[in-house]
Chain A
Amino acid sequence: MKMNWMTRLAFALLPIIASLAITALLITLVGSDPRAVFERVFEGAFRNSTAFAGVVNFWIPLVLCSMGLVVTFTAGLWNIGVEGQMMVGAIFASWGAQFLALPAPLQVGAEIALAMAGGAVWASLAGLLKVRLGVHEIFGGVALNALANVWAIYLISGPWQPPEGGSAQATRPFPPDAVLPSISNAFPVSLLGLIIAFLAVVGVALALRGTRWGLQLKATGKNPRSALLLGVPTTQSALTALIVCGVLAGAAGSYRALFTYTSLRPLLTGGIGFLGLLVVLLVGVRAIWTPLVAFAFAVVLGGSTRLRVALQLDQSLAGVLQSTVVLMVLLANGLRRRLSARRSVEAPQPTQTAVDFKQEQTAHE
């Protein structure tokens, strides 16, 4: 019943190869050379340490959000609000960067802690809306995202407006002591950011695998009614999952504000949270694969910067590649499920993601 590792590997590689082939075909159709395109993307990501730093700087917030979303998906929640949680994290961090004055080693840590708290507050709002008022987390999340964006714009164009002469499209750059330092000029990445991302990956993986809390989240996500009967505090599970996601999203937001832009900017989250949703759906909520897939996304997107500069190809090409990958992975998952279903009718695959769940439902009709 279980597939051997060769088949598994094939199913992991197949969608990637297929999507590369399809994208190559598309590139040829619009009259470019696909090899040059792929080469540029690769160069764009790995040319030198600075280019690679760009990839890592995108990967850090992406993986933080993704790991948070692994937690909420495990608990069966569609935390669309992750973008807003990121934004509020950035706002809280920006407050700290502008108005806190602590001794140097404490300053940045306090800002990140603030950001985590901010993300957690925003996430628990979505959670409370759900458990107290029955507002589905998707609707609550969308509303809270908009609210967070409006809040940021208000601050930037209002109370936190830079003095004359500055641009009004961001707060004034934060003082050097208040931002995350780079590892080096050649590799401008924040060490602290890397460490937090690493801890998030390991922490979430271990928590889901080895703690009662993680198991309770899984039970709640797969069948809240049964979970309740087995003694799982399902409401508490849902809330804590959201809060953990909010903490990680807040940290991601602080990285954007305290490192990438060293200021608060409108829309600074840039859809990274939504990309995280995609990552997690792709890996089927398996914590271990998440950083790798997030990294692949960061490479393709970061590498495509060079595509635009060097070949002046349309910026949507990276998006095309990305969406093709998503389609192919979903296709491969469907195929795999169909194959294993043929081998064993009595052992259907568990519904792992909401996408799968939808498919199952339509299959019943």
Chain B
Amino acid sequence: MDIELRHIHKRFGAVHANNDISAVFHSGQIVGILGENGAGKSTLMKILAGFQPPDSGVILLDGAPAAYGSPEAALSAGIGMLQQDPLDIGAFTVIENFIYGSHLTRREAYRALSAQTERLGFDIDPDALVSTLSIGQRQQLEIVRLLALGVKTLILDEPTTGISTEQKTLLFDALRLLAKRDGMSVLLVSHKLEDVIALCDRAVVLRSGCLVGELDAPLTTADLVQLMFGGELIQQKRKHPGTGDVVAALEGVTLRSRRMTVEPFTLRIRASEVIGLAGLDNSGQELALRACAGLVKPAAGRVMVLGEDMTGKPYRAFMQKGVWFSAAGRLEEGLIAGLTLTEHVALVADSRPLLDWNAARALTEAKLAQYQVRGQPESLVETLSGGNQQRLLMGLLPEKPVLLALEQPTRGLDVDSSQWIWTQLLDRCDVGTAILFTSPDLDELVAHSDRLLVAFAGRITEVPDAASVTIDQLGRMIGGAFQ
């Protein structure tokens, strides 16, 4: 299906989210929609997928003007969108989710599901509960579901966030097959340049609501960065302090969750160190990270902070010791939807029983400026874009914590925002803060870690020479091929 957008406009209050955007997407092509956070790419795709109407402008499908006011109508017109967080129902099985919204009988559904997954090389058990799947598998389910509904155009919003390298390869192969063999249009919203370069035939770049350029393959980082930011990026340099005092330690710790056990391991964290925890989803690195902040109680072993045994103490006790945790799901664990930015700042600013809203507002304004958060003090936090939420979260951390335990600190952020976040984090390391972080992004792990630990199936091992490890080597390690 050929899609043409003509003069699309969309405003949210004072923000001109889409400003006169015209573009053509041909069938059989994979097109990357690029732009930093807030550039308007999500808005444009939501308009195309029927989640919101444009203020003005026309959408032409195979040359005919299309008018649809809902995602359902867009679906029946052949346009389906894969959201960043798949909209499935965790308590249902794969097959039940698959049937949902279609007119298939159960038997037809089994057949259709297995045919599609086999063809695309996916691996999902039809009878598994969705809540037990990884994000990558849930994406796969959503893709085959949309295909079964007869989608001709597939829009994917940041699909490579939070999935493993293997799953990414699988996904990209499947997308290529859909575009090249089935002649579908695939639109990939992403801020990850390497994904776009690896996959896309063409890239459309948005900046501040305007379409600023289109490039055909072969795409290069330099060209894309030039269009996205109007300049080249400077590569962050790694530092190697790592000789400070031990500030926190997991001593012979065993961790258990409902799904897995992490075998006993010891990790001593020194002041000013940056330690990366690598691993595929649910390999144990998440548990280790949370154990450091008291959010997971060890089944055996001890958790030490500043020489004190903190085993079994609540997170608040860790906070008082200077250990702060920040989770991957910003609005699930971290920020509080329904509270304003000022309220967030007031919550962590001090512990006086009476609140001084004027002072809190002033402090918030200062923080917003300092951390480059685009938002008003009285805005509700969920109205911020992902990058701004992450920067706000950074602003809520204390100035000189002892240890920051960060789960995917740059999840869903563009290159520029990620760089900025790391600048802030590393500034804190300079004054003695230790950082422990997980990331699905091997680049990020290799670029910023002084030490690297790899989790695989509940075994946590330190990489001997972190300074010289390459992305490829690390990729093999998290897949279980440790030396």
> Are A and B subunits of one complex?
yes
Contact A230 B12, beta carbon cutoff 8 Å: no
Report B-chain residues with C-beta under 8 Å of the C-beta of A351.
337-338
- Which A residues are in CB contact (< 8 Å) with B43? 346
Q: Using known A-B contacts A218-B343, A233-B316, A364-B87, determine if residue A226 contacts B335 with beta carbons closer than 8 Å.
A: yes
**Is there contact, CB below 8 Å, between B339 and A228?**
no
Question: Does B363 sit at the interface, judged by CB under 8 A?
Answer: no
A218 touches B355 (CB 8 A): no
CB distance from A2 to the nearest CB of B (A): 9
Is B218 in the interface zone, CB < 8 Å from A? no
B327-A350 in contact (CB<8A): no
Report the stretch among B194-202, B239-247, B345-353 that lies at the interface.
B345-353
If A222-B339, A345-B46 touch, whether A228 touches B315 (CB-CB below 8 Å) is yes
Determine the distance from Cα of A203 to Cα of B382 in the docked complex, in whole angstroms: 30
A230-B337 in contact (CB<8A): no
Task: Give B115-164 interface residues, CB cut-off 8 Å to A.
Answer: none
Query: Which of B333, B343, B347 contacts A231, CB < 8 Å?
Result: B347
Interface presence of A168 (CB below 8 A): no
B480 vs chain A, min Cβ distance (A) = 32
A106 to B293, CA, bound (A): 51
Interface string of A224-248 (1 = CB under 8 A from B): 0111111111000000000000000
From A211, A213, A216, A229, contact of B325 by CB (8 A): A229
Q: How far is the CA of A230 from the CA of B398 in the complex (A)?
A: 11
Contact A348–B382 (Cβ < 8 Å): yes
Asked if B466 is an interface residue, CB under 8 A from chain A, the answer is no
How far, in whole Å, are A350 and B383 apart by their CA atoms in the complex?
A: 10
Is B344 positioned at the interface, with any CB of A under 8 Å from its CB?
A: yes
Q: How far is the CA of A210 from the CA of B352 in the complex (A)?
A: 11
B46: chain A residues within 8 A (beta carbon): 345
> Are A1 and B333 interface neighbours, CB within 8 A?
no
Q: B482 to chain A: closest CB distance in Å?
A: 32
- 1/0 per position for A38-77, CB-CB distance to B under 8 A? 0000000000000000000000000000000000000000
Q: Per a CB cutoff under 8 Å, which of A210, A230, A233, A345 touches B354?
A: A210
Is A230 a contact of B347 with CB atoms below 8 Å? Answer: yes
The answer to whether B13 has its CB under 8 Å from any CB of chain A is: yes
Q: A230–B336 Cα gap in the complex (Å)?
A: 9
Q: Compute how far the CA of A212 lies from the CA of B383 in the bound complex, rounded to whole angstroms.
A: 24
Which residue in chain A gives the minimum CB-CB distance to B52?
A345
A215 contacts chain B at the CB level, 8 A cutoff: yes
Chain B residue nearest in CB terms to A343 = B12
Alpha-carbon gap, A229 to B43, bound state (A): 31
Tell whether A365 is near chain B: CB-to-CB under 8 Å.
yes
A231–B348 CB distance below 8 A: yes
Cβ of B306 under 8 Å from chain A = no
Query: Known contacts A1-B12, A216-B347, A345-B51: does B336 contact A226 (CB below 8 Å)?
Result: yes
Establish whether residues B355 and A225, one from each chain, have CB atoms under 8 Å apart when the complex forms: no
B319 contacts the other chain (CB 8 A): yes
CA–CA, A348 to B12, complex, Å? 12
- The interface residues of chain B lying within 8 Å CB-to-CB of A215 are 343, 346-347, 355
A219 to B325, CA, bound (A): 17
Taking a contact as CB atoms closer than 8 A, the residue among A210, A223, A231, A364 that contacts B336 in the complex is A223
Min CB distance B292 to A, Å, is 14
Q: Which of B306-342 contact A (CB under 8 A)?
A: 315-316, 319, 325-327, 331-339
- Alpha-carbon distance A234/B337, docked complex (angstroms): 16
The distance in angstroms between the C-alpha atoms of A223 and B87, with both chains bound, is 21
A212 contacts B336, C-beta separation under 8 Å: no
In the complex, the chain A residue whose C-beta lies closest to that of B53 is A342
Q: How far is the CA of A211 from the CA of B332 in the complex (A)?
A: 25
- Closest approach, in angstroms, between the C-beta of A18 and any C-beta of chain B? 27
| Given A211-B353, A228-B315, A350 contacting B380 (CB threshold 8 A) | yes
Given contacts A212-B354, A222-B336, A345-B46, contact A350 B382 (CB under 8 A): yes
A344 lies within 8 A of chain B by Cβ: yes
Flag if B319 contacts A231 (CB, 8 Å): yes
A210–B334 CA distance with the chains assembled, in angstroms = 23
- In the complex formed, the residue of A with least CB distance to B51 is A345
A352 to B339 CA separation, bound complex (whole angstroms): 11
Chain B 212-242 near chain A by CB (<8 Å), digits 1 or 0: 0000000000000000000000000000000
Q: Which residue of A lies closest to B14 (CB)?
A: A1
Nearest Cβ in chain A — how far from B397, in angstroms? 10
* Nearest Cβ on chain A to B16's Cβ, whole angstroms: 13
Interface centre among A227, A232, A345 (most CB of B within 10 A): A345
A133 at interface (Cβ–Cβ under 8 A)?
no
* B89 on the A face (CB < 8 A): yes
A207 to chain B: closest CB distance in Å?
A: 10
Known: A222-B337, A226-B332, A231-B348. 19 other contacts (CB 8 A): A211-B355, A212-B355, A213-B353, A219-B343, A222-B336, A222-B339, A225-B333, A226-B335, A227-B347, A229-B315, A230-B334, A231-B316, A233-B316, A345-B46, A346-B12, A346-B43, A346-B383, A347-B12, A350-B338
The 3 closest A-B pairs by CB, nearest first: A350-B338, A222-B338, A223-B336
Q: What is B's interface to A at a CB cutoff of 8 Å?
A: 12-13, 43, 46, 51-52, 87, 89, 315-316, 319, 325-327, 331-339, 343-344, 346-348, 351-355, 357, 380, 382-383, 396
Q: Residues of A at under 8 Å CB distance from B?
A: 1, 210-216, 218-219, 222-223, 225-233, 344-348, 350-352, 364-365
